[in-house]
Amino acid sequence: MPGLAELAYTTAGGVVGAAASSWFGRQHERRLLRAEVMGRVQAMAVITAGVRDVAIGWAPLRRTAAGRARLTGELGVRAVLDGGADAEQALREAFAELSVAALAAGVPRRIMDFAGGAHERALECAVIALADRRLGGVLPDAAGLMAAADAYQRGAVGLLIRTLWHPWRTRLTARARLRALRAEVAALEARQERARAVLADPEYADRLHRELDAR
């Protein structure tokens, strides 16, 4: 029969082995969750970068006092990807998948929402730029608007990625970074609203539809 010392060593070894196995298992699971989030982030980036044109959509919707309508709805157009897929629908589906993956990986919802919202802003700015191009360049600062949207998108998505890989380190600066992102998106929204006001003017909206209908 084994002595007490041998029994103690055997028991301790079993406990250590089980703890190590559990730790490595959790690490492997975290890596899988992080990889899933990164894949979903990349999928959203591909969509926002892949808007190729605008096409005639449903009849234009009037903006109500209740909230901010989508620009595509206000102009009566839709954003299309290569192959003709609807970009906004694809982005909504991709964000739903990112939400599931990010929450499972422990990313706070508000950080995830900023990243998703940044992609929506980028897509709307792409629609603004494409509509402006169709109209022959009626906006004074379309390039600057796109640059601001890109900077905001990089900042919001960057915060999500840092939170994903370095949650404890990022927690120290997350509150200040979120304040900065709120200021950025407020300035970006003001620029978007000015551009939207120009494009939604009946003269330009009608001209845009004639241009799209003539293709």
Task: Judge whether 79 and 127 are in contact, CB under 8 Å.
Answer: yes
Rounded-to-integer distance, Cα 143 and Cα 130, Å: 11
For the residues of 45-104, what is the DSSP string, one character each? HHHHHTEEEEEE-SPPPPPPTTS---HHHHHTEEEEETTS-BHHHHHHHHHHHHHHHHHH
Whole-model pTM?
0.82
Q: What is the pLDDT of residues 45-82, one digit of tens each?
A: 999 999 999 998 876 666 554 556 789 988 999 999 98
Q: What is the pLDDT of residues 7-20, one digit of tens each?
A: 444 554 554 454 44
Q: Which residues, 6 or more positions from 123, have their beta carbon under 8 angstroms from its beta carbon? A: 47, 48, 51, 79, 87, 88, 91
Q: Hey, is 107 helix, strand or coil? A: coil
